[in-house]
Structure 1
Amino acid sequence: MASRSEATPRALITGVHGFTGRYLRDALCAGGFDIVGTCARPSESTSGEVVLDITDLEQCRRVIDQHRPDYIAHLAAISFVAHADTEAFYRVNVLGTTNLLQACADVGHQPRKILIASSANIYGNAYEGIITEQQAPQPVNHYATSKVAMEFMVRTWFDRLPIVITRPFNYTGRGQADHFLVPKIVSHFKRGAAFIELGNLDVARDFSDVRMVADAYRALLEGEAAGEVVNICSGKPYSLGEIIAAMEGIAGQSIEVRVNPAFVRANEVKLLIGSTDRLEALVPGLQRPPFEQTLRWMFEG
């Protein structure tokens, strides 16, 4: 085990190379944490990260026992909704999370806090308006269904481990893959594309800045809350049309928007946003960059 001062808290971040993991690592480093990051394959270990296949219980036991982290942020998951291997959603998202918690019990380690990232995708598309954590899940794909199953499994550990489950709504920032909606829009403007194909421009969704998400995760790890489920969201809706208009102002150029019928979902709910009440109660004073500022940051990066 790497030596460290006993006063320096150690945080284990699974999926540290993912979009969120990189920002959470920076946020925790800024707070004086010693970081142990994990990645799934040796080829991904570029900065001394620990190779960990979370679907292997014995590997989870070994890593937890060796590093004995004060905090665990579990971000590793199969998160691409169109992932070809259906079984992988459940193997990684449910069984992998189970293994991580079981490993803590098996080696007799009690972290100060464990944060487990779920997703607002569990709410589905059946509800319109402001969604609270009490809203019943209604998943519409294997990704969301695996996250619902994971949440129910994690709840069985609430009386044994100090756990917070987060349900992030849409968030974005520099470094997010271009197949996600906002990076796709920003990249079209950055390269001066003449047109872009999108779906229903009137659909409005909740968008946040990834840096806010990382700050919220750090605050929840350091805070007293346990046995909680928390929406991570802005509480403000933005339509595709509004995002396009904002980018036209930032880039100083217009773009032709073509509605591709393949991107339009039947009976799509027009407005979906998260309630921020519980997040604001647990993390008072959380700073949220204005979304236009986030878009400008991405465009100029």
Structure 2
Amino acid sequence: MALRSDKTVLITGLSGFTGAHLAHRLSEEGWRIVGLGARRLACEAEHLEADLNDTARLTEWIGQVKPTHVIHLAALAHVTGSDALSYYRVNVLGTESLLTALQDSGVALEKVIIASSANIYGNALKSPITEGSEPRPMNHYALSKLTMEALVGKWFSRFPILVTRPFNYTGPGQSEAFVFAKIVAAFARRQTELRLGNLDVSRDLSDVRYIAEAYARLLGCQAQGQFVNLCSGRSVSLMQVIDTMAELAGYRPQVQVDSAFVRADEVKELYGSPQRLYDLVGTIEVPELSETLRSMYECNLQASAT
């Protein structure tokens, strides 16, 4: 595969779950990777640890590293557990700060991809959810992402921007703060009891490798000024995940509903259409649920053995 050393991609949130997988995917193609995040990865040519709202520092650094492409993943991502103001300071004002720094640095950009969230759809009235479905945000995280989208819209005329709306995805290395990773880790530890929140929920669940592939392909597409669902087109229930893990692990823990994990504003189902994504970059194969869960399970077992 031809190296892409003439292209530099700036990834914010690079050391996070998605950013690390994406960096690995792009480094295989020879991209020069520069990152903004909490810690430096081995594949980075340059790294900056800074507050997204420190516009002056971002501007100076961006002018030095001169990215040709940008993928903005950094965000306050947990649906619960943070004060409301933090979501807007990071997800809205932080994005505005980044875009201002990109403009003030004077770099020539071929593509800017900004990650929103499928949580903006809330409890959609029908499935599959398309990019034209009515937003129905159910919490401050979702509302901050929808507000960010409105803000980013004013930059469409200044940069070649695509805004992605990722649905749920999982994979090796995801924090146990996310329910699918929590379930897999519990099986790897062979817990006798698994305490969860709402069990009657289904998610459009894909693999982080699928998401990384989608971002890699979107970097090279010509489209701009659009919103794009990143989803598998399949709905997976929590009980399907538990059943699959029970088969993989050879045992089944007792599942208890813990009121501490039950959300009053729980979104019951998110099930999206990936058609626009496929129209832009071609069909992407979605790993089977059992394949994704097995990779996570084995990763957990290896980590516990070291």
Q: TM-score, normalising length from structure 1?
A: 0.92
Give the deviation of 1:259 after TM superposition: 2.4
**What is the CA-CA distance between 1:271 and the residue it aligns to?**
3.4
Between the aligned partners of 2:293 and 2:284, the Cα distance in structure 1 is 19
- Does the alignment pair 1:107 with 2:102? no
Report the count of equivalent residues: 294
SS of structure 1 residue aligned to 2:57: helix
| CA distance in structure 2 between the aligned counterparts of 1:183 and 1:10, rounded to whole angstroms | 32
Among 164, 167, 170, the residue aligned to 2:165:
167
Q: CA deviation at 1:130?
A: 1.4
State the shift of 1:256 in Å: 1.4
Partner residue of 1:218 out of 212, 216, 219:
216
Shift of 1:129: 2.4
1:26 paired residue number: 24
Deviations 1:72-131 (A, max 9, x none): 011111112224332221111111111211122223223100110111111112534211
> Quick one: distance in 2 between partners of 1:264 and 1:65?
46
Distance 2:136 2:195 in 1: 28
Q: Which residue of 1 aligns with 2:302?
A: none
Q: CA deviation at 1:152?
A: 0.6
Partner of residue 125, structure 2 = 127
Indicate if the aligned counterparts of 2:124 and 2:133 stay in contact, CA closer than 8 A.
no
Q: Give the conservation status (yes or no) of the 8 Å contact 2:79–2:141.
A: yes
- List runs of 5+ in structure 2 lacking aligned partners: 300-306
In structure 2, the CA distance between the partners of 1:7 and 1:23, relative to structure 1 (3 Å rule), is closer
Partner Cα distance (2:10, 2:34) in 1? 5
What residue number does 1:78 align with? 76
CA–CA distance in 2 between the matches of 1:66 and 1:246?
Answer: 48
Q: In structure 2, do the counterparts of structure 1 residues 207 and 69 end up closer, same or farther at CA, with 3 Å as the change threshold?
A: same
Task: Determine which of 151, 154, 165 is the counterpart of 1:153.
Answer: 151
Tell me how far 1:52 sits from its aligned partner: 2.6
Measure the CA separation in 2 of the matches of 1:267 and 1:73.
30
Distance 1:52 1:267, change over 3 A: closer
How far apart, CA to CA, are the structure 2 residues paired with 1:51 and 1:273? 35
Looking at structure 1, the residues matched to 9 and 199 of structure 2 have their Cα atoms a distance apart, in angstroms, of: 41
**Does structure 2 retain, via aligned residues, the 8 Å contact 1:8–1:32?**
no
CA RMSD between the two structures:
1.9
Q: Does 1:281 align with 2:283?
A: no
In structure 2, relative to structure 1, the CA distance for the partners of 1:268 and 1:154 (3 Å cut) is closer
